[in-house]
Structure 1
Amino acid sequence: MLPSVLFLLVWMIVPLVMTLYYSFQNYNLMMPMDRSFAGIMNYSLMFTDPTFWDSLINTLVLVFSCLILTLVLGLAFALLYNRVFPLRGVARTLAVAPFFVMPVVAGLIWKNMLMHPVYGLFSWMLRSVGLEPIDWFGNYPMISVIIMITWIWTPFALLVLLTGLQSLPEDQLEAVRLDGANRWQEFRHIVLPHLGQVIYVVLMLESIFFLTSFAEIYTTTSGGPGTATTNLPYYIYLNAFFQYDIGFSSASAIAAVILANIFAIFLIRFVAGNLKAGARS
């Protein structure tokens, strides 16, 4: 396994070290020959930039909202599709289909076919009942992005949680039913503890992808209106490819890496604490 481990280390560490190096450099692609050591100037500029704090708040709002919605909806659909009913296989296939749609394609679908204020499906539905259409990405940009990302990632939570449910021994459920437990008690004391590790996996994987959400925002709102949907990845993109400021964007990238690690540590401790509490109960 040593070659694989070394390859992964080089694959991860080299870009991170280069990013860290450039974050201490005064390096703009418009003046590539005018390079110098900047010290912590890029970081100080970043922390005094109001747009950075807006993007940080937007990132946290986006991540927490999508995590809660995808987990709740994924668990609800997993409980539903774990039951036996006609055409269950077809229903499962249709339920997981959004996860296989590329983020750029999903953004274009939601922007031009569903949420467009003139010829979108939602506008047609509102006009059909005598209501005024809504400019979703103009008036409710963050909510629209959250809905779109939740639509993409709920099938992932559904797949993982459904797999966990199918590994639940049926004799445990039959035993608690014979003891007189109702549906809520069965769910609370048998199903949820069994899905503890599975929920942890869903939260960890989804949080990583939500922290790096970019294509959905790029194809729908371009971070706007203003900075309403500018998250950290899009903030880094703007500084790197519009301002051509490699030093400043590298400092922002390091901040994003630190945020991701803080978020991961917080999430691990939170989930681990709940799992231990569930095991003691």
Structure 2
Amino acid sequence: MAGLGVARAVGFVAPALLLVGVFLVFPALWTLYIGVTDYQLTGPAAAAPSAVGLDNFAAVLDDALFTNSLWLTALFVLGSAVVGQNALGFALAWLLRRVRPWLRRTTEGLVLLAWILPGPVVAYLWFAVLSRDGGTLGLLLDDPTTAWLVQYPMVSLVVFNVWRGTAFSMLLYTSALAAVPPSQLETARLVGANGWQAVRDVVFPHIRGHVLTNTLLISLWTANDFTPFLLTAGGPNHESEVLPVLIYRQALEGGRLGYASAMSSLLLVGNLVVALVYLRLLRRRA
């Protein structure tokens, strides 16, 4: 305990543990509890919910809307986080290593700006870009009649999330690349390795742990991201209704809190499974 003694050490961490318990552990346990009840937002079941066991979970697994949302969430995470943010973040970090400092700082600032802006502000900006009624993209392409958010909802969400979330990957890879020995890159260049060969044979072995950590974090963040609701509200016809949006609509629009909590519990289990897989891969790397 670094010489503090057990009592003092516990006293130092107690405020953090209290916050974690109140804002993370308790809501998770409460979600699991009401997931096995018929808890409603209003009505008699709101005042006196009754236990239904695993009926909610069975109904969720048999729900076509849940299956559709699960598939869309997987596409959203794979396209915008695992591939999009990872690739673009690394590309920016790699290309900005040797540019002039003012250009690097300007580029990093612009990328960070997209990340730190509030979600509603970013969603409004992209809605203005993709809107059919005078949207910026339609005017640039001389095609003002295309409703991008209606005709290509998931593609629009993937591009939006890549644009917004790349900053974290860029910062993490920038830090990781600083730890790669320059002598090894110079040796690779002298023996005739091209850029891709140097990245594959020299850089990736050094930053593999960072790649796994980054992929884990951005995957979990994307799987639980509610921002798509601000752009498409899950439409049209459930074509962009990822799991957080479906849970919101079932809980607050439909009033089925118990049913929505069962969905949330399944999403939580999915997050834990993904986290355990990544942690296992990290241990193998170590």
TM-score, structure 1 as length reference: 0.89
Please say if residues 145 and 217 of structure 1, whose CA atoms lie closer than 8 Å, have aligned partners that are also in contact.
yes
Please say if residues 132 and 144 of structure 2, whose CA atoms lie closer than 8 Å, have aligned partners that are also in contact.
no
1:86 positional shift: 6.5
Whether 2:56 is the aligned partner of 1:45: answer no
2:184 alignment partner AA: Q
State the partner residue of 2:195: 183
Whether 2:252 is the aligned partner of 1:236: answer no
- 1:104-183 matched pairs, under 5 angstroms: 104-112=120-128, 114-127=129-142, 131=143, 133-183=145-195
Deviations 1:194-246 (CA, angstroms, capped at 9, x unpaired)? 221221221111011101110x2221110111111111111111111011112
Structure 2: unaligned runs, 5 residues or longer: 1-8
Q: Distance in 1 between matches of 2:283 and 2:151?
A: 39
Whether 2:77 is the aligned partner of 1:63: answer yes
Structure 1: unaligned runs, 5 residues or longer: 277-281
1:160 positional shift: 1.1
Whether 2:224 is the aligned partner of 1:212: answer yes
Q: Distance in 1 between matches of 2:131 and 2:53?
A: 46
Q: What do you get for the CA RMSD once the two structures are aligned?
A: 2.0
Query: Greater CA deviation, 250-259 or 100-109?
Result: 100-109
Q: Distance in 2 between matches of 1:150 and 1:183?
A: 24
State the partner residue of 1:279: none
How many residue pairs end up in the alignment?
A: 270
Any idea what SS the aligned residue of 2:47 has? coil
1:136 positional shift: 0.7
Please say if residues 66 and 243 of structure 2, whose CA atoms lie closer than 8 Å, have aligned partners that are also in contact.
yes
Query: Greater CA deviation, 71-80 or 84-93?
Result: 84-93
Q: Among 16, 38, 41, which residue is 1:26 paired with?
A: 38
Deviations 1:177-209 (CA, angstroms, capped at 9, x unpaired)? 333433332111111112212212211110111
Q: Distance in 2 between matches of 1:268 and 1:69?
A: 22
Please say if residues 124 and 133 of structure 1, whose CA atoms lie closer than 8 Å, have aligned partners that are also in contact.
no
Whether 2:253 is the aligned partner of 1:253: answer no
Any idea what SS the aligned residue of 2:29 has? helix
1:271 positional shift: 6.2
Any idea what SS the aligned residue of 1:134 has? coil
State the partner residue of 1:85: 100
Q: Identity over the aligned pairs, expressed in percent?
A: 27
Q: Distance in 2 between matches of 1:59 and 1:231?
A: 5
Any idea what SS the aligned residue of 1:26 has? coil
Please say if residues 135 and 144 of structure 2, whose CA atoms lie closer than 8 Å, have aligned partners that are also in contact.
no
State the partner residue of 1:17: 29
TM-score, structure 2 as length reference: 0.87
Query: Greater CA deviation, 134-143 or 95-104?
Result: 95-104
